[in-house]
Structure 1
Amino acid sequence: MNTEKFIDTDTLLRLQQSISRFGVVNVITAAFITGALALLLDYVYMLYLRSKMPPGPIPWPIVGNTFLLPDSKPWIYFEKLAKDYNTPLITFWIGRNPTVWICDAWAASELLDKRAGIYSSRPRMIVFGELGSGQSNLVTMYTRTAEERDRFRVHRKLMHQGVGVQQVRRYRKFQNDESKIVAYDLLSSPEDYVMHFERYATSVVSIIGFGRRVSTWRDPIITEVIALMHLAADLNVPGKRFPMLMETFPVLAKFPNKIAPWKHGLGRRGRRRGGSHDFFYSLADEANKTPGHEDAYAKMLFREAPKYNLQPQEISGLAGNLFGAGSDTSSSTLITAVLAMRAFSETLLPAWEELDRVVGTQRSPTFDDEPNLPYVKAFVKEVFRWRSVAIIGGQPHSPTEDDYYNGWLIPKNTWIQGNVWAIHRNERDFPDPDRFNPYRFIKGSADGRPFPGERGYMTFGWGRRVCSGQALAEQGTFITVARLLWGFRFDPALDENGNEIPVDIFNYTNGLNMRPQLFKVKISPRNEEIRRTIELEGKQALEDLAVYEGETQYRLSTFYKA
């Protein structure tokens, strides 16, 4: 008898379902085991790399050390880690990616200056690279291949033609005049010193770039563009919040913009409706089409565009970098200078003595006075050292090949950041580092210490990625700080009860380009003769700068709505 005839249909169905369920369970189990094994192997590799790289906290799988990041000012945390591990370099894992933080001047000089040939590239960056200006901007360009290095050299050359060491000497006349107007404006509204500095710095780069000055701090080009620079600085701080969390988990950048509010790409804000180009390109194009001022940087870019096959987004990047390199950073440095003058009033006495002897009261300082003002020059250097604006040295570097330092491995494509905060506060190089002390930079002074590089500070970065606007910033900061020291007192402001309002030398913003939070100070002319000189020079400077008067039709706040 055939027993199969007696197996009913329900039994067969149940048997098939059991086999099917068993298969699904097997698939799920196999996938889980495979995933767990892959995670384990990945973590083992992370720990292996950690054993070869500079010391630092033990990372967790996938998230690394990201959870340890403070909510603000991570450079202070990294300085502490370097001290705890007693090492010039530390490794901190942002997700699965190790970041090497250099907290020592000599290590920074050895790696980023002396080995610039392999440390001048950028790592993969999501926020400021793939979602930002990418390979069309000098700041974020890779230099990993011959083609990339050639393009980098083109952009670097074009920036040097605008703000290189030799070029900026041509700008001294109007830079000095704009500085005179700062002093003139401080006579009538000293409480608005921040806005006066912002106007000055923005006007200088606007004359260089577009042939027109910024005559009032109410000009939208100041308020809107500097706000954009502040946003960029805030977004660029390593952290565990969006958008920088995308650097930890790059997959988040692949979400469509409509369902991904954390995507804050800055460089590619898009084009205006109707297909015209972006804001900085349009400013440059407008300047190029405006008669006169043939030496404006924008006109040079358009003249050179066919030779170098410059694309519109590249012109935009080069023009926009002028603001990035010269407006927010320069004004922030001047605000720091005033904070130092207010908090360390004893440092003003030697400056006043030197300026009274060399300059007198019938004129203000000029660039020709610089060789005879060693203390003022040292004062300016200490401003750059004491509270550097680009506190983590700008965008990260990345080696194009595996490298070693003190026996530690620095793998190819690793993020390398210079912690300028830690470098400039190292007790070995700068004893009592939070004290503002210009004598650190007086040759032969007992307060001086050896330091790599002739300048004695690392404010502007390193190697081939050093800030393009360094010469312009140093030149402008010298003449403006010298004029402030020559012309004014910086006394404590008083509250309604007549009590001095204190200032906090640590109360700075959290952005990549940090500046002091607003503080109150009483700024007044040193004497009546100096006041009269400031008035005379200010009025003359306004007449001399009239040739640069003009107005742009563009407003950043409405540009992309047009």
Structure 2
Amino acid sequence: MIDLYSTVFLPILEISRLGIPLLLTLLAFAVVRQHVRRRGMPPGPRGLPWIGNKHQVPAIKPWWKFAEWNREYGPVVSIHLGSTPVIILGTAQAAWDLLDKRSDIYSSRPRFVVAGEILSDNKRGLMLPYGDSWRKWRKVLHSGFHSRRAETYHEIQTLESAVLVHELLTNPAEYEKHLTRFAASVATSVTYGRRVDSADGWIVKENLNAMACGIPGKYLVETWPWLLKLPRSLQWFRREPEAQRQRDIALLTHLLNDVKKRMSEGTIPDCLTSQTVANQEKNGLTDVEIAYTVASPFGAGIETTSGTLCIFFLAMLHYPEAMRKAQAELDSVVGRDRLPTFDDREKLPYVNALISETLRWRPIAVLGGSPHAVTTDDEYHGMHIPKGATVFANLAGIMRDPALFPAPDAFRPERFLESSADPRLREFDLPFGFGRRVCVGVHLARASLFVAVSRVLWAFDVVPAPGARGLPDPWAFTDGFNSRPVSFPCGVVRRSARAAEVVEAEWEGARERLARW
């Protein structure tokens, strides 16, 4: 144990007696304090007194700097953002060892001043620290999205995918909007028992606004929470999130009340919200708590699923040979007279591998989703990880680890089928998080990706847009917490006249069945 009095305070007092100015004395204290604070922690870049490494972390796409530090210092890197220790995990093995195997102490969250406290009064379960409130939230979502329950949503996913391929057939230029509408409609259907007809609808736009406002680190107060001690009139950072909070409450309350109304009328399909309302007394949730709890898959599912589908389109433009292999498998298993269904899923190993490679090639939750926080001091390979440290599983680096993914720049679905592949990649859960914080909607997300990708590949060729000069930049991605491709033109061409006939017939049948939604 370090004797702070003899090693820090006495030398500083001695410096002061020698007449050295106070500012230099404080600077000396900060330097010594930083050295003491970092002793025994994982290696990392040296920071500055008071601010730590904040000046070295880019405001835009910090994950690439994190990956660079992992290559320089090793799979576990430590930095400080102000006084907060931050641990960056750059390999899957380190993430498995800490976030999975030691999930009992790595399942909490750091403090989210804006996204958690101001924006939602700590009612968004994704950002809750580990404890009773989080367990209550997780229990509700698990009941609605465990593997067997997720299978009951295959019908609406099948119907929505029929709408999707028809939209692509009739208006291919707006492919990105169609992907967003598909993801949004699946999310709102399974959550609220109601569909979305347009990506421009009020529900979708308000959801995306809330997600943008809640990006951790967007506001200065996240780094300097002492700003909350300023007079409320001077807390300029409150204006945007508090205005969004009122819009969130209006939207989520409207959706909850609509479910209750249709429940009383007996006109609502089974959905997460109707299940939660029916068990409200058992779960011990208020109406406002229900409104926020059930909104979690609605909020997270739209952006991640639609963004991953956009990445799939981008990959097909750059790697048409992978598209051809998947189409050959689909033609062999499914034939040319019907669209793929969930019954075909286990018979399409290459298509499933192509989806896994899409998730690896450009992970949309590029920082591994919301960061974890460790609740007690820990040690890993002789390195000290202090209680309260923020922990990022940096998927930007993990998915490009050549030890786990040889030739990481290449788009190679075969890597998931080869006998030499790490057996832990068979299910490929890496993109969905770790430990007790793994994405609760993983089964729903996988199913949506399968039915959308398999049907798009069966019906269409993804080709460069007419008149396009070259292919879109494969590294042009947005800067947000979920990083997706910057919008790019793309051609979607039917594979045959027969394919168009099947898509039309499937859509006609789906329209009738969708009427009850």
Q: TM-score, normalised by structure 1?
A: 0.84
The answer to whether residue 166 in structure 2 is matched with residue 191 in structure 1 is: no
Distance 2:23 2:417 in 1: 62
The answer to whether residue 144 in structure 2 is matched with residue 162 in structure 1 is: yes
Distance 1:181 1:362 in 2: 18
The answer for the alignment partner of 1:516 in structure 2 is 485
**Kindly, what percent of the aligned residue pairs are identical?**
34
The answer for the alignment partner of 2:326 in structure 1 is 351
Aligned residue runs from structure 1 range 460-471, under 5 A:
460-471=432-443
The answer to whether residue 450 in structure 2 is matched with residue 478 in structure 1 is: yes
Distance 1:538 1:81 in 2: 50
* Superposed displacement of residue 451, structure 1: 6.2
* Superposed displacement of residue 219, structure 1: 2.2
Distance 1:410 1:264 in 2: 36
The answer for the alignment partner of 1:377 in structure 2 is 352
The answer for the alignment partner of 1:108 in structure 2 is 95
Distance 1:282 1:461 in 2: 31
* Superposed displacement of residue 151, structure 1: 2.7
**Larger CA Rg, structure 1 vs 2:** 1
Residue pair 1:325, 1:467 contacting (<8 A) in 2 also: no
Taking a change above 3 Å as real, the CA distance of residues 68 and 451 of structure 1, as seen in their structure-2 partners, is farther
Greater displacement, 198-207 / 123-132: 123-132
How large is the RMSD of aligned CA atoms in angstroms?
Answer: 2.3
Distance 1:227 1:474 in 2: 25
* Superposed displacement of residue 265, structure 1: 7.0
The answer for the alignment partner of 1:526 in structure 2 is 495
The answer for the alignment partner of 1:178 in structure 2 is 160
Distance 1:128 1:451 in 2: 37
The answer for the alignment partner of 1:545 in structure 2 is 514
Task: Provide, for residues 383-430 of structure 1, a one-character-per-residue CA deviation record: whole Å limited to 9, x for no partner.
Answer: 111111111111111111100111111101110011001000111111
Distance 1:227 1:75 in 2: 23
Question: SS of the counterpart of 1:90?
Answer: strand
Task: Provide, for residues 187-212 of structure 1, a one-character-per-residue CA deviation record: whole Å limited to 9, x for no partner.
Answer: 11111111101111111111111111
1:261 to 236, 245, 252: 236
Residue pair 2:105, 2:376 contacting (<8 A) in 1 also: yes
* Superposed displacement of residue 279, structure 1: 2.4
Question: What amino acid is the match of 2:53?
Answer: N
Residue pair 1:133, 1:140 contacting (<8 A) in 2 also: no
Distance 1:164 1:452 in 2: 21
Residue pair 2:119, 2:245 contacting (<8 A) in 1 also: no
Residue pair 2:184, 2:199 contacting (<8 A) in 1 also: no
Distance 2:426 2:26 in 1: 50
The answer to whether residue 473 in structure 2 is matched with residue 504 in structure 1 is: yes
Question: SS of the counterpart of 2:391?
Answer: strand
Question: What amino acid is the match of 1:526?
Answer: R
The answer for the alignment partner of 1:21 in structure 2 is none
The answer for the alignment partner of 1:299 in structure 2 is 274
Taking a change above 3 Å as real, the CA distance of residues 357 and 270 of structure 1, as seen in their structure-2 partners, is closer
- Structure 2 portions without partners, runs of 5+: 1-15
Taking a change above 3 Å as real, the CA distance of residues 294 and 176 of structure 1, as seen in their structure-2 partners, is closer
The answer for the alignment partner of 2:294 in structure 1 is 319
* Superposed displacement of residue 252, structure 1: 2.0
1:71 to 40, 59, 66: 59
1:119 to 106, 120, 137: 106
Taking a change above 3 Å as real, the CA distance of residues 453 and 443 of structure 1, as seen in their structure-2 partners, is closer
- Structure 1 portions without partners, runs of 5+: 1-28, 549-562
2:395 to 389, 400, 420: 420
Aligned residue runs from structure 1 range 222-261, under 5 A:
222-232=204-214, 235-236=215-216, 238=217, 242-243=218-219, 245-261=220-236
The answer for the alignment partner of 2:82 in structure 1 is 95
Distance 1:479 1:323 in 2: 19
The answer to whether residue 416 in structure 2 is matched with residue 441 in structure 1 is: yes
The answer to whether residue 180 in structure 2 is matched with residue 205 in structure 1 is: no
Task: Provide, for residues 67-112 of structure 1, a one-character-per-residue CA deviation record: whole Å limited to 9, x for no partner.
Answer: 1122310000110111122x00111211111110111100000000
2:366 to 354, 378, 391: 391
Residue pair 1:126, 1:253 contacting (<8 A) in 2 also: no
Task: Provide, for residues 115-138 of structure 1, a one-character-per-residue CA deviation record: whole Å limited to 9, x for no partner.
Answer: 001100112222223323354222
Distance 1:376 1:460 in 2: 19
Q: TM-score, normalised by structure 2?
A: 0.91
Question: What amino acid is the match of 1:350?
Answer: K
